Chains A and B, each alone.
Chain A
Amino acid sequence: MQKLPLTGIRVIALEFYWAGPLNTQMLSDLGAEVIKVEHHLARGPAKSSEAAARFRFFADWDPGESPWNRSGFLNQFALGKRSVVMDLSHPRGKELFLRLVKISDVVQDNYSARVMPNFGFDYPVLKEVNPRIIMVRQPGFGTIGPYKDYVAGGCPTGVHGGLPFYHGYHDGEPMRPESCIVDPWAGIHACCAVLAALWQRRRTGQGQFIDSGQCESVATVLGDKVLGYQMESSRPPRVGNRHYSMAPHNCYPCRGENKWIAIAVASDEEWSALCVAMGDPLWAKDERFSSQLDRRGSQDELDRRIGEWTLRHDHIELMHVLQNHGVAAGAVLDQSEVMSDPHLKERNCYVEIDHPETGVRPYARSPWNMSKTPKREWRQAPLLGEHNRYVLGELLGLSDREIAELEKEEVISDRPLA
């Protein structure tokens, strides 16, 4: 068997949506065995409504015969994981869960703070069963404090964490970031804490409890803003596409509909290079544009002039032309262009994986390349309850008859029950 960084580590994942699944996705990519413990309705009901279809990203919009296995969003963040369905409100489900805790290393959840205690799975309970267990909890506002029971997906915690106040056009109001990147931030920070706890456990043999509030992940990223406020800096909160020191620095229109290029000029040398690329137009010799400070003072005019020039060019071709002149430029790529970009392609940012119900599709992978650790064999996301038998039979040693009984009592299942 290949030795990967976390080979031999078993993770129980009680997760939904994004921040939790991303955390354990990385642990899985590092070689851990991640077992999603799911409720039979966790992936939605057996029959999907039209509204749900749009909400759940069913492959090709088609809920199909088994919509619970066709969510693109879920499948993206469950690569290589296993799935066991257990009813944790049933006494048998609880017992099986604790038996699984006994033979695992990490228990992770990103439910509201109250969910795990309601199941009876407080950290002291898990620790009693397995002193080596590392429990990582990721509710939006953490497990202590006045907001611990507040509901929070990435949107409210992102807002509350502070990012949107700093996001927006230089002349506009704060704006919610389109993608909740705060969800992944929370997941990545939580993953760091798990890896650190696993390292410490090598010395002590003891696990621990990790409370990873998503809000704090965001506030951590904004540290310079928080210090800047205390320093009474006059820097405006939002600069949009502009920059506190560079000019020109903006998103400029290109040929075609909704095509744009980002250009960032950090020095007078780069400004000269941009002028050469533009064919040394007369307007650029104006003294209003001669130094970085002058250019920053005349940005509206500067941006208009540059925009007139960029408009005549293809956004991707122009990026290469400018880069060859020594100017930092990046075409504003839409998702199809991102996925066909030669640089990202060469670096294998996406991997093609076959899934029995949704076919071969590209998936984003953990963004790092390690020279000595063997390459991970990519596996598709599990079907709901696909590993019931593996987990209950192979790992927990239940007999076929016992498993059949659990099925009959609806403690386990491989489909949403009515």
Chain B
Amino acid sequence: MAELALDGVRILDLSGGIAGPYCTRLLGGFGAEVTKVEKPDEGDESRRVGPFPEDIPHLERSALFLHLNTSKKGVTLNLETLAGRRILRQLAERADILVESFEPGQMSDWGLDYESLEKTNPRLIVTSITPFGQTGPYRHYKWSSAVLDALGGHTYVQGDPKREPLRYPDGTAECTAGMFASVATMGALHYSGDTGQGQHIDVSILDCLPGLDSFRTVRWTHLGVIQERRGGRYAQWPGKLYPCRDGYVGLCGIGPTGTLLPMYSVMGIPELLNPEYEDFAQREERAEELDALVQPWLMEHDRYEIFNALQAVRVQAGVCNSAEDLLKDPGHEARRFWVEMEHPEAGKLKYPGEPARMSETAWQTSRAPLLGEHNEEIYQGELGYSSRELTQLRSSGVI
């Protein structure tokens, strides 16, 4: 069996929603042993988000939850109770990393803040992932994906200039923060590997957004220009999604020094062979005129046909893939990206696999845990509680 890169790294995951679970999903994939702690009966909020099979809500069948919580074990624990917090401290003593996403101040109200946990486990890394971070005037503000996209400057630049600005699809901000948190957490893991010293990492989802879009950042910091909405069009022509015979294709033009002659010859449109269209600035200015010239050709061809024909002459093209297309895409298929797994409640489904293929270490994927599925394994097997104690904890609502 191939080795796991993070073999032996133990993670206690108290986070819910998207950002925290995305972070621990990655760490779990790289081989860490992740124990997800959920509130008894209710579980992670993403269990109620869906989408669901046939649109019928069910705690064990939410696509969002099932996706974000692969490669984790699941226990339930009520942190509102003294006994629950005592058990949490026991779990934290045995962990290398704790990830949480409670409102700032909640962990310390419970006596579970980094400073308290560090006393018994100085190597522990605590990663807090919250909408606005642990500090700053907005830290207790209410949030949603849309609110963060707006404040982070993403929304202002998206969409049609003649309409209201457009946010990103739900969850993109949180996933981004989850990825960054995963980098920071592994960074801290290396630090504790060298020094024996853990620490507290503060990741704000909002902080992750402004710098992420460096085009608009650099336009402002280096050119003093505020980027406006362009309706999804790139500066370089052709640079947008175009409808074609069976869907949409995305084309991305070429810089000032490149030539589009090979693309023009594939399309076989004589009007395109105008030398003026070989000029970068002219193309940008006359984008709509050029769009009108290529559109009929695109409507006569299928998206994968266009993709392959234009890529053959090294034009940046991509198919506007839906989930259905992604599952069939020959690229993903050849790379065996999708992983099929059976879940007792949700059935057999294909899940995203490794975002990076590693030659010497395997990507770990197992289905998401049922609510409290590993209570016995963790509480009895690892912490040594007896089955009688477990029954008591269960009946008093602790687990």
Contact = CB atoms under 8 A, between A and B. Distances in A.
Contacts of A338: 151-153, 210
B207 A371 contact: no
A192 interface: yes
A151 B315 contact: yes
B196 to A, nearest CB: 11
A168 B223 CA distance: 28
Given A264-B147, A367-B208, A373-B199, A142 B357 contact: yes
B255 A55 contact: yes
B5 A6 contact: no
A3 B194 contact: yes
Interface string B254-275: 0111000000000000000000
Interface string B197-223: 111111110111011111111111111
Contact of B355 (A4, A212, A373): A212
Contacts of B63: 223-225, 227-228, 231, 233
A262 B223 contact: no
A222 B194 CA distance: 36
A159 B321 contact: yes
Interface in B324-371: 324-327, 329-332, 334-335, 337-338, 346, 349-361
Given A175-B241, A195-B183, A330 B232 contact: no
Contacts of B223: 57, 59-61, 72
Interface in A54-95: 54-55, 57-61, 72-73, 75-77
A232 B53 contact: yes
A285 interface: no
Interface in A198-231: 198-200, 202-204, 206, 208-213, 215-217, 219-231
Contact of A229 (B136, B207, B322): B322
B179 A189 contact: yes
Contacts of B235: 54-55
A177 B231 CA distance: 9
B321 A162 contact: yes
Contact of B335 (A142, A239, A240, A328): A142
A307 to B, nearest CB: 9
A184 B159 contact: no
B356 A193 contact: yes
A215 B321 CA distance: 11
A165 B320 contact: yes
A370 B126 CA distance: 10
B210 A344 contact: yes
A341 to B, nearest CB: 7
Interface string A136-154: 1000011011110011110
B319 interface: yes
A246 B164 CA distance: 18
Given A155-B252, A216-B354, A188 B183 contact: yes
A102 interface: no
Contacts of A203: 7
A372 B326 contact: no
Contacts of B358: 193, 196-197, 208-211
B169 A226 contact: no
A354 B11 CA distance: 40
A164 B330 CA distance: 19
A346 B136 contact: yes
B393 interface: no
Contacts of B329: 160
Most chain A Cβ neighbours within 10 Å, of B169, B199, B231, B234: B169
Given A4-B191, A228-B50, A212 B180 contact: no
Tell me the dominant secondary structure on chain B's binding face: mixed
Contacts of A241: 146, 164, 166-167
Contacts of A76: 214, 217-218, 221
B132 interface: yes
Nearest to B145: A264
Contact of A177 (B194, B203, B232): B232
Given A251-B164, A364-B214, A329 B147 contact: yes
Contact of B357 (A50, A210, A217, A224): A210
Interface string B130-161: 00110111100111101111111111111110
Interface stretch (B34-42, B64-72, B293-301, B376-384): B64-72
A148 to B, nearest CB: 9
A198 to B, nearest CB: 7
B235 to A, nearest CB: 8
A222 B199 contact: no
Contacts of B183: 26, 30, 188, 191-192, 195, 366, 368
Interface residues of A, number: 160
A320 B6 CA distance: 43
A198 B199 CA distance: 20
A221 B323 CA distance: 11
Given A160-B321, A196-B5, A221-B172, A178 B355 contact: no
A99 interface: no
Contacts of A191: 183
B277 interface: no
A224 B326 contact: no
B184 interface: yes
B55 A234 contact: yes
Given A181-B213, A197-B358, A226 B352 contact: yes
A262 B194 CA distance: 45
B166 A175 contact: yes
Interface stretch (B76-84, B86-94, B99-107, B242-250): B242-250
Contact of A179 (B4, B187, B212, B354): B212
B280 interface: yes
Contact of B349 (A181, A221, A227): A227
Nearest to B139: A343
A160 B164 contact: no
Interface stretch (A275-283, A355-363, A385-393, A395-403): A355-363
Most chain A Cβ neighbours within 10 Å, of B114, B148, B188, B256: B256
A116 interface: no
Nearest to B255: A55
Nearest to B248: A174
A159 B319 contact: yes
Given A58-B222, A229-B323, 4 more contacts: A211-B356, A262-B155, A330-B146, A367-B204
A-B pairs with the 9 shortest C-beta distances?
A364-B211, A72-B222, A159-B250, A156-B318, A233-B51, A223-B67, A228-B51, A330-B147, A160-B318
5 contacts: A153-B316, A192-B186, A216-B355, A338-B152, A343-B136
